[in-house]
Amino acid sequence: MWDAVINGVSGLGAGFVHMHWSNPVMIVVGCFLLFLGIKKDVEPMLLVPIGFGAILVNIPIADLMGNDGFLRTIYDMGVSNELFPLLIFIGIGAMTDFGPLLENPKIFLLGAAGQCGIFLTIGLALFFGFPQLDAVAIGVIGACDGPTAIYVTSRYAPHLLGAVSVAAYSYMSLVPVIQPPIMRLLTTEKERNIDMNAVNKSYKPASKNARMAFPLVITIIGGMIAPQGLPLLATIMLGNLMRESGVVGRLTKASENEIANVVTLFLGISIGATMDGEKFLTGQTLMILAFGFIAICLDTVCGVLFAKLMNVMTGGKINPLIGAAGISAYPMAARVVQREGQRHNKQNFLLMHAVGANTGGQAGSVMAAAIMLSVLKGMGIIP
């Protein structure tokens, strides 16, 4: 009987006995993510479940990411088959108003320029010796778009999912810190003072029919151009069509609230579950975080420079600051532009233009990922 008691007692505290040095470090990292989410309000919807998932997966023996672990079940249910990011995209589409973009379609080009960081960072990651598909996953942090980054990474570089997702969401929330110095550095006082209020009057609003046709046309034409990315494009546009049609209010509400919330919880906790210390604590993770930062800086640089070019071509009608909003961090990037504009000219209201560029950035990030996947397919890199 004593043997049984001793064996029983040895089962208690087994987690401490089997702890790897990386586990407590990752538990601290998980707590730090929780701190950022709860105390600093940094993307709490994502960082709280990610942080908790990171803690759970680093408790030894429990093996929650093992074949029968509940985190593995959630992961297999929607991350490994890319379902969760797509469901979130329906919600994003349902929440996004493309009206300001439709009012001034030229601004769509800023949404394209804001994606240049993706491709430049791929080149940089390759230069530093990352394998090709890993470089693609790292570059996609520059989409500034969590679901897109998760979709691409879970499909082609699942071993990088934790690092890429944490980088994508952390930097997205740091946009108000990262962008303003770059915007000030690349623009002159005169350019920052360009008043776009007068330009507002020349824009014509889009009719309800045009708003409804927009998601349909983009899905069909975009899908034809880049079929590999059709799931991304189709889901965001389906959400938007439901919103604009106005006839499926319950579905629209469910997509932007209940479905998005439940999926965000599952997505967050399963991303956290990929942060097993033994695999996560490597020099590679630090490099991915650094490249993610560079990608978002490059997005901003390219966006602002392209807006400067548009300003020259339109005879001084475009305030180059709005180029910084051509990324997918919605509506944060637009707010940053508005704030920067008003720092220099209290009468300058750039918000609507920046929101247009920002929604262009949302569609642009999805389209950039779709094009990237189709180019990869065309080159025979992916099946």
Partner 1 sequence: MDNWTFGWTMIIVGMGGTMATLGFFAILMGVLKRIFPVKEEK
Nearer to partner 1, 180 or 229 (CB): 229
**Residue from 214, 280, 291, 330 in contact with partner 1 (CB under 8 A):** 214
CB of 97 to partner 1, least distance (A): 14
Q: Per this entry, what is the length of the chain?
A: 383
- Residue that the structure tokens 């918000």 belong to: 351
Give DSSP secondary structure letters for 29-44: HHHHHHHHHHTS-SSH
Measured torsion, CA atoms of residues 82, 113, 242, 249, in degrees rounded to the nearest 10: 100
Our finding on whether 36 is near partner 1 (CB under 8 A) is no
Our finding on whether 229 is near partner 1 (CB under 8 A) is no
Our finding on whether 297 is near partner 1 (CB under 8 A) is no
**Residue from 126, 265, 290, 382 in contact with partner 1 (CB under 8 A):** 126
Our finding on whether 118 is near partner 1 (CB under 8 A) is yes
**Residue from 50, 178, 218, 295 in contact with partner 1 (CB under 8 A):** 218
**Residue from 15, 24, 66, 105 in contact with partner 1 (CB under 8 A):** 105
Nearer to partner 1, 77 or 221 (CB): 221
Q: How far apart are CA 253 and CA 190, in angstroms?
A: 44
Our finding on whether 234 is near partner 1 (CB under 8 A) is no
Our finding on whether 291 is near partner 1 (CB under 8 A) is no
Our finding on whether 314 is near partner 1 (CB under 8 A) is no
Binding span for partner 1 by CB under 8 A among 113-121, 146-154, 269-277, 340-348: 113-121
**Residue from 1, 6, 198, 379 in contact with partner 1 (CB under 8 A):** 379
Neighbouring CB atoms inside 10 A of 358's CB total: 33
Q: How far apart are CA 139 and CA 157, in angstroms?
A: 12
Contact call for residues 333 and 299 (beta carbons, < 8 A): no
Q: Which residues, at least 6 apart from 100, have a Cβ–Cβ distance to it below 8 Å?
A: 107, 352, 353, 355, 356, 359
Our finding on whether 364 is near partner 1 (CB under 8 A) is yes
Our finding on whether 164 is near partner 1 (CB under 8 A) is no
Binding span for partner 1 by CB under 8 A among 75-83, 208-216, 328-336, 337-345: 208-216
**Residue from 92, 102, 263, 273 in contact with partner 1 (CB under 8 A):** 102
Our finding on whether 368 is near partner 1 (CB under 8 A) is yes
Read off the amino acid at residue 214.
F
CB of 299 to partner 1, least distance (A): 12
**Residue from 115, 165, 252, 358 in contact with partner 1 (CB under 8 A):** 115
Q: How far apart are CA 168 and CA 327, in angstroms?
A: 12
Q: Which residues, at least 6 apart from 44, have a Cβ–Cβ distance to it below 8 Å?
A: 37, 38
Q: Which two tokens stand for residue 80?
A: 């490994």
Nearest Cα to 33, choosing from 53, 60, 57?
Answer: 53
* Helix (H), strand (E) at residue 143: none
Q: How far apart are CA 97 and CA 236, in angstroms?
A: 12
Q: How far apart are CA 153 and CA 133, in angstroms?
A: 9
**Residue from 317, 375, 377, 382 in contact with partner 1 (CB under 8 A):** 375
Our finding on whether 294 is near partner 1 (CB under 8 A) is no
Q: How far apart are CA 76 and CA 65, in angstroms?
A: 10
Q: Which two tokens stand for residue 20?
A: 């790897």
Nearer to partner 1, 21 or 127 (CB): 127
Q: How far apart are CA 153 and CA 271, in angstroms?
A: 11
Binding span for partner 1 by CB under 8 A among 31-39, 45-53, 79-87, 204-212: 204-212
Q: Which residues bind partner 1 (CB under 8 A)?
A: 101-102, 105-109, 111-113, 115-116, 118-120, 122-123, 126-127, 132, 135-136, 139, 204-207, 209-210, 213-214, 217-218, 221-222, 225-226, 360, 363-364, 367-368, 371-372, 375, 379-381
